[in-house]
A and B are shown apart, each in its own frame.
Chain A
Amino acid sequence: MSENTAYLVKPRDFLFGESEDDALELDCGKKLYSVNIRYETYGELLPDGSNAVLILHALSGDAHVCGRHSPDDRKPGWWDEMVGPGKPIDTDKYFVVCSNVIGGCSGSTGPRSLNPRTGKRYNMDFPVITMADMVRAQKRLMEHLKIKKWLSLVGGSMGGMQALEWAITYPDLMESVIPIATTARLSPQAIAFDWVGREAILTDTNWRDGNYSENSEQKGLSIARMLAHITYLSDESMHHKFGRELQDTASYSFDFKRNFAVESYLEYQGRRFTERFDANSYLYITRANDYFDISAKAGGELAKALEPVKCRFLVVSFSSDWLFPAAQSVELVKALLKNRAEVSYCDIKSSYGHDAFLLEADTLGKMISDFLRNRLEAVRGR
């Protein structure tokens, strides 16, 4: 595949839950009707169905993993270095699926969707959802696509949480799971950052209890994003990327306008985010993260919670990730080993912080492609 030829992909929709029986039951006790799942698929499913890989996106991700929707697209999908023809998750070999989570704002049903009961946007009437709810919706998509078993589930950060949820909820439906830069239960530190981010949104007068107007500035969401963005970097990567460089000024301005390159970068990231993300979705998805603890149903005992697991694991963390530090992956690995599960684990040396899962494509890519190749050979050799 040459650099110039765009790999073109098409987003698709799967709608379910029109009837009482078909509606999606949620952890909060409510039901979600007329649920749309926005998804993309790449490559071909082998006749024996052995090569299906589900990719699970992180908080601000979407179904568009790789390639372009049109040759004119400025940027490819969010994991284009990792997924595509000839890439580590090779779409010439694997049938790759990715869907937008419910509660999101990139095509799947979320707060910005129309409530079929009222004909108006849900906004804050959207039910509070959990990671398990997102996974149950993905399971419906799996049935729709007539996939019997995933060769692997791959996800970084929040995507890794969904992968873990899958492994304990539907242990027979996958050969392997690859949780990257993630945790089995969200830490108090991460919950704290989520809280401050949501407070910024909830106290923004333009937000108007969720009924904000499309044209109004979403300063709250932008602050939440700037805060979160800091947690995705590392001290070292910020030194490297910005240092103490000034931007658009030769000297300190002796007021409170932005002076530093790092300030300018954050401001830009925050503003850009408000152009593509729904403030209400941000509230719902971060809440789903806060509530994520796969050990909760087992009285806090992680090994016990993981007892149903049958698949192989490749767990990856990054040495400079302080949002989901290596110790949290080690805790998961130890619990899996306690149950004598087949698990591989590497803490990849990196200075990129949590974002490393998107940036360390060489090292991570080699691990994932070798792991997948061995899994496919094992399955097809049976």
Chain B
Amino acid sequence: MVDKLKKQLAARPDILVMNEIIPPDCRVLDLGCGNGAFLKLLEQEKNVRGLGIELSQEKIIESINTGISVVHGDLNNNLDFADDFSFDYVVVSNTLQEVERPDHLLREVVRVGKKAVVSFINFGHVKTRAQLLLKGAMPETDNLPHHWYNTPNIHLATIRDFRELCRLLDIRIIKEIPLGSNGNLPAKMFPNLFAANCVFEISSNGSGIQE
């Protein structure tokens, strides 16, 4: 079962990195949980208690089939069902750019989660920069396959933008794991240029959160 789930998630290196970060026996909230494969992996491999939030009816049906707890919900609303720090980890994998107000969601994420792992497509990547510079058109890449007018990614950002938003929101960046190709070395050296995606581990900077 675990191998099957990992194979399913192989196309999502950001999720495999998150899987390394999240410790066993904790409580995880996955915002935009898709078919529930990641939460199922965490439950099977690490005895995690998971809850997924998902907007799409098709994906909710898939998640119920997977066997996780999934609640129909819109991330443009507050996470008012959850008390402060009631989850050990909140997962936001390639979802942030789709919501109306990423800043509002991030504030909620570090309120309800002691920690969070956030991944997003880096719009500062050399490929997107090159397309914009040379063609003068909105970039379309493997990670960003849509046209500008039909993309669900309404709030794309660069790694630098994300760091800046964390600073403004008083969010602590615990870890930053850039994901690139070519053995990952260029991405590690110049993440904002060579990382196609990046995983951040963050927490609220406020007092009272224990390691």
Contact = CB atoms under 8 A, between A and B. Distances in A.
Contact of A349 (B57, B67, B71): B57
A11 B105 CA distance: 54
Contacts of B138: none
Interface in B50-78: 51, 57, 60-61, 63-65, 67-72
A345 B55 CA distance: 11
A380 to B, nearest CB: 14
Interface string A327-342: 0000001100110101
A302 B206 CA distance: 31
A370 B65 CA distance: 5
A370 B61 CA distance: 9
Contacts of B60: 344, 346
B64 A370 contact: yes
Given A337-B81, A337-B82, A348-B57, A367 B64 contact: yes
Contact of A344 (B57, B70, B86): B70
Contacts of B65: 366, 370
* Majority-rule SS of B interface residues: mixed
A346 B72 contact: yes
Contact of A343 (B71, B83, B86): B71
A363 B61 contact: yes
A346 B65 CA distance: 13
Interface in A293-348: 312, 314, 333-334, 337-338, 340, 342-348
A306 to B, nearest CB: 13
A308 to B, nearest CB: 19
A366 B61 contact: yes
B81 A333 contact: yes
A189 interface: no
B130 to A, nearest CB: 41
B80 interface: yes
A376 to B, nearest CB: 11
B64 A340 contact: no
B71 A371 contact: no
Contacts of B61: 346, 363, 366-367, 370
Given A370-B64, A371-B64, A346 B69 contact: no
A203 interface: no
A344 B69 contact: yes
A119 B89 CA distance: 65
Contacts of A211: none
Contacts of A346: 57, 60-61, 64, 70, 72
Interface string A347-382: 111000000000000010011001100100110000
Interface in B6-26: none
Nearest to A317: B72
A333 B71 contact: yes
B69 A343 contact: yes
Contacts of B83: 338
A345 B64 contact: no
A366 B69 CA distance: 16
Nearest to A329: B72
B72 A312 contact: no
Given A337-B81, A346-B64, A367-B64, 7 more contacts: A337-B71, A338-B81, A340-B86, A345-B70, A370-B64, A370-B65, A371-B64
Interface of A: 312, 314, 333-334, 337-338, 340, 342-349, 363, 366-367, 370-371, 374, 377-378
Interface of B: 27, 49, 51, 57, 60-61, 63-65, 67-72, 80-83, 86
6 contacts: A338-B83, A342-B69, A344-B63, A344-B70, A348-B57, A366-B61
